[in-house]
Structure 1
Amino acid sequence: MFCHEYLIDLKAGPAAVRAGYSKNGADQNGYNLLQEEAVRQRIDELKQARNVQINIDACYVLQRLLEIDNMDVADILDEDLRVRPLAEWPATWCRYLSGVDLAEMFEGKGEARDAIGILKKIKWPDKLKNLELLGKHVSVQAFKDNVKNELTGVDGQAPTFVVQFSEKGGEGEG
């Protein structure tokens, strides 16, 4: 029961409560369950079965990332850089927009103001982040941090350290 509940939100504590454990100690019980190899294996089996059921695999994810990468703002703007009607947008744009903000613009104040237009802010996916995900998906390693710290002594030899101890209140005490 816990394994099925865990798949809902991938949170051990709430899954333990939904599976019938007491709220007191649910986080610890959930954590303990996730430490058991049999539980982790069952969760993996359930995840795989769910992926098969909804037909999601690595190819599906890669295809979606490619669709986002190929989004071109020219597909939704006309020659005068006005936003085309929504009915003319490619399906990809409708699917992957992060948000749309609309604000009516006015001229004048109070009752004497007139509507002069609508400000449209279109937020599309982060193309750089998408490219990073694509690179990780195909093991490009272009975004892998490659940091190496080395400490060497004179002429590339092993470093030498001199440590001096002093009595409390003696030399070196500040």
Structure 2
Amino acid sequence: MNKLTARQEKFCYEYVIDLNATQAALRAGYSEKTAYSSGSRLLKNVEIQKFIQTLQADLEKTAGITALKVLKEHKKIAFSDTSMIREGWMTLKSYKELPKEIKDCIQEVVTRETKYGNEVKIKFYDKQKSLDSISKILGFDAPTKIEQKIDFDSLTDEQVNSLIAKMTE
């Protein structure tokens, strides 16, 4: 593949966002007067077509989204320690001091003015939904191979280990 210029490459990345050649040309830095014709001309370039096909074939890579990133975001929400703040109203100053890990778990922030200053109400994302998503991603919600009730208290350690090994086969 011939080397694309930085602007041509930017055009390709912008084009796969909305498949609009004119807008992609504008966002890539082509002039407003020539964006339509530049976009059309760029789409006829064989090397650009190949690069766009490569990007479209791997949108996960293009968007920078991986299963691991999704899992990490769910993990942040599911296992966040929000005990350092309470659900409800707090001051704007204390909100600004929250660590990024906690801010990432916040779904909604509402501010209001009071006679004591600005207050902030915080609503967190649903931890249970994130736990459910993690379970689904990791396959923890799949039915087990052993579907009988077992009285673990009556089993020896060796029998328990044997059952666990069977369940994970």
* TM-score for both structures, normalised by structure 2: 0.44
Bigger helix share: 2
| RCO comparison, higher one (Cα < 8 Å, 6+) | 2
Larger Rg: 1
Q: TM-score, normalised by structure 1?
A: 0.43
